Structure 1
Amino acid sequence: MFKVQLSTVTASIGLAAFATLLLSPPASADTITIPTSSFDSTSSLEQYWNYNYPWGDTHNGAARMSSDHVSASGGVLTLTAVPASDSDSDIHYHSGTIYAKEQVNVDGTDAVGYQVEGEFIAPTTKGTWPAFWLNAASGWPPESDIAEWKGERTDQIWFNTFNTSSQVASKVVTWPDDGNYHAVKGVLRTIPGNSADLSIEYYLDGTLQATHTAAGYVGKALNLIIDLQMEGSSGSPGPTGTTTFKIRNVQMTKLTS
């Protein structure tokens, strides 16, 4: 059977062309760099994620992060914030944050884009500040907030793109705060004829909410962060009890076409 097929192929395209076909590498394909299974267990979590922020255990809010407030089981990541009992006047909560070991870097050659997505049950009360975001691995900006919830204005979600500290594109829409999981997605892609900037599309439950131009983002490495920060930009005082942020089906895909 193989000899018949081989003869047929070589007769139609020529022996030299057939040899080239055999030796050519397969066409590139999109690559899942973080699978949805990364929250199946603690060991799965630690295979793909680090604890805290890339720079430490605090950031622009009133919570100090530790692995004690991070759990992963059955495909669900849970970040938990509890009021602090210590005497540090700047820290009012102990909470949890993780960041991906795989960075996002749209260089225009190996990767022409990235798709980052997940499903969330996010707290939106005053003083709660959960987020799913990309932050510059070196310097700042760039920053892309694929989802940011700030309890100063409840039942809303922010999609933000920081080009500079003062040049920020934002879209604020209603968050369906019904206690169910809802899907958020950010798609970063190169722009034809533009070697410096990216396009970022922001989605909520499969519906496009905003498209921003991310100036100078090509070739800039970004860390994917999931955190439950407290107070800060979300107002104060925050909750007096335990706050939880639940996340599932997070996936990062490197786009090559």
Structure 2
Amino acid sequence: MFIRKVNGFAVLGLAGTLISAPLTHAATTVIPSTSFSSYSTFESYWAYLYPWGSDHNGSARMKGSSSDHSHIVVASNTLSLIATPTSNPSPPTSTANPHPAIHYARQAVNGWPPETDIAEWKGTANNWFNTFNTSSIVRSDLVSWPTDLSFHSLKAVLTAESNNADVKIQFYMDNVLKATQYGQGFVGKPMWLIVNLQMEGSSGSPGPTGTTTYKARNVVVTRSGS
């Protein structure tokens, strides 16, 4: 995964797929590594906007569709999310709480939480591993992110605990375990896998004055059990 920006934040998180107690069945591939191989393949596994619409809690608005790839680009098995400053958006503020003014256009539930962030950057060379049990009970582990502008790997392994209610989440960077967190009552909860590039919000203001690009490749989701 590659990120380059100032005061923007990018997230690859689960806010996707049902979590259940693992069985002894072989792993099933839910999203293959080829999902960014073409637009038709992309559209068979991913949607262009958030599950709830185009806006979230930052100043960027999702913009993309099967006929508009100016901000969501699939090429060379890589997904590129592109954010550009915009003026006179309509509506001028986000439709999502806390309703910040929209300053950017960019690409791209039953309830919240649960949420866990596998990859989140807030304009610095740190990746945030986060798990939200409530809006105020949050575990965050910050890990230094390499600044070599190369792709690096991130992985989360979610496993049901013996009480069949809570979930252990193990976070890896470049195949090294970096953090372990726990999601209370996460088992059986419907979740979305979301890849997004947001601006300002918790990263602070002002945001970038030019184009910002977030790239991801080899995204794979597997699960065991029924």
The TM-score normalised by the length of structure 1 is 0.71
1:46 to 37, 43, 46: 43
Distance in 1 between residues matched to 2:155 and 2:224, nearest whole Å? 14
The match for 2:63 is 66
Instruction: State how far apart, in whole Å, the 1-side matches of 2:75 and 2:130 are.
Output: 30
Question: Is 2:130–2:139's contact at 8 Å kept on the other side of the alignment?
Answer: yes
Cα deviation digits, residues 23-50 of structure 1 (max 9, x gap)? xxxx731101100000011111101000
Give the root-mean-square deviation of aligned CA atoms: 1.4
Counterpart of 1:249 in structure 2 is 218
1:214 aligns with 183
Which stretches in structure 1 are left out of the alignment for 5+ residues? 1-26, 98-136
Equivalent residue for 1:200?
169
The 5 Å alignment of 1:168-183 reads 168-183=138-153
2:53 maps to 1:56: yes
Once the two structures are TM-superposed, the CA of residue 169 in structure 1 deviates from its matched residue by 1.0
Structure with the largest fraction of helix: 1
Report how far residue 256 of structure 1 moved.
3.0
Structure number, greater radius of gyration: 1
Amino acid at match of 1:42: Y
Residue in structure 1 matched with residue 104 of structure 2 by the alignment: 93
Per-residue Cα deviation, 1:39-91 (whole angstroms, up to 9, x for no partner):
01111110100011000101000001111411111210000000002253611
Q: CA deviation at 1:165?
A: 1.2
- The answer as to 2:139 corresponding to 1:162 is no
- 1:106-145 → structure 2 map (5 Å cutoff): 137-145=109-117
Q: Extract unaligned runs of 5+ from structure 2.
A: 1-23, 65-69, 94-100
| Structure showing the higher strand proportion among its residues | 1
Q: Percent identity?
A: 53
SS in structure 2 at match of 1:39: coil
Q: 1: CA distance between counterparts of 2:85 and 2:210?
A: 7
Higher relative contact order (CA 8 A, sep 6+): 2
After TM superposition, the score normalised by the length of structure 2 is 0.81
Match of 2:81 in 1: 79
Deviation string, structure 1 residues 197-241 (Cα, Å, up to 9, x no partner): 010001111111111111000100100000010111111111111
Q: In the TM superposition, what is the alpha-carbon distance from 1:178 to its structure 2 partner?
A: 1.3
Counterpart Cα distance in 2 of 1:202 and 1:142: 17
Q: How many residues align?
A: 189
